[in-house]
């Protein structure tokens, strides 16, 4: 700013006519004050001064004009696709390797790759969040598919080798309770069987 004024006011009264109030309201809605001029496409903007690396600044200008005219090179699309593909795999392994046995954790080199992609200025925060959502949904689908395939494998093996079903297991686990009459009848039956064995 050209002038900077500091003041402490105990009270301030302003009188405006209706026309002045409407005009100031219209003016405020049209003019939005900006404290800082935002550079065009800051994700492409070089971090070095123009005098040190003019080539990077010419590339920046070329990319900005391409974005404004809605033209991008196929190489840019291809590189973005490669970054996305790599990030999805690395993020899934980093986020879910402790929960599952079929995903291996990242080594130091892969972890540095993940951090490099996350720190890449050409990928915005919204893009990273979208990629993470895609990776999370891919992980959930893979997990569900693996659970279903393990159920199918178990059922095939149980059909081949035979195993007790869950209903049979439940029946085995239920204790048998007998009434007093049934117990006495059972004891009489066992006594008769013992006598027959001794006679034989």
Residue 184: phi, psi to the nearest 5?
Answer: -65, -40
- Count CB-CB contacts under 10 A for residue 177: 6
Give the pLDDT confidence of 44-99 residue by residue, as tens digits: 788 888 888 889 888 888 888 887 887 777 888 888 889 999 999 999 999 888 88
Give the pLDDT confidence of 123-182 residue by residue, as tens digits: 878 888 899 999 999 999 998 888 888 777 676 656 666 555 554 555 455 566 666 677
Reply yes or no on whether the pLDDT at 187 is more than 70: no
Q: Alpha-carbon distance 104 to 112, whole Å?
A: 16
The backbone region for 102, taken as left when phi is positive above 0, alpha when psi lies in -120 to 50, beta otherwise, is alpha
The residue with greater pLDDT, 192 or 46, is 46
Residue 173: exposure state from Cβ atoms within 10 A (0-12, 13-18, ≥19): exposed
| 42 band by pLDDT with thresholds 50, 70 and 90 | confident
Reply yes or no on whether the pLDDT at 1 is more than 50: no
pLDDT at 60: 85
Distances (CA, A) of 92 to 98, 106, 109, 141, 181: 11, 10, 16, 12, 65
């Amino acid at each position: 700013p050209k002038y900077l004024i500091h003041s402490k006011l105990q009270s301030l009264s302003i009188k405006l006519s209706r026309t002045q109030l409407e005009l100031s309201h219209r003016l405020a809605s049209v003019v939005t004050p900006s404290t800082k001029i935002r550079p065009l496409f800051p994700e492409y903007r070089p971090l070095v001064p123009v005098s040190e690396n003019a080539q990077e600044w010419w590339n920046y200008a070329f990319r900005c004009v391409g974005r404004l005219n809605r033209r991008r090179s196929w190489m840019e699309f291809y590189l973005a696709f490669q970054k996305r593909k790599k990030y999805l795999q690395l993020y899934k392994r980093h986020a879910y390797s402790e929960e599952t046995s079929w995903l291996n954790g990242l080594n130091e080199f892969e972890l540095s790759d993940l951090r490099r992609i996350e720190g890449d200025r050409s990928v915005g925060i919204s893009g990273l969040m979208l990629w993470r959502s895609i990776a999370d949904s891919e992980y959930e689908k893979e997990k569900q598919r693996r659970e279903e395939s393990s159920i199918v494998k178990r059922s095939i093996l149980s059909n081949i080798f035979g195993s007790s079903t869950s209903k049979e297991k439940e029946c085995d686990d239920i204790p048998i309770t007998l009434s007093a009459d049934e117990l006495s009848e059972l004891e009489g039956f066992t006594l008769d069987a013992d006598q027959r064995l001794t006679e034989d």
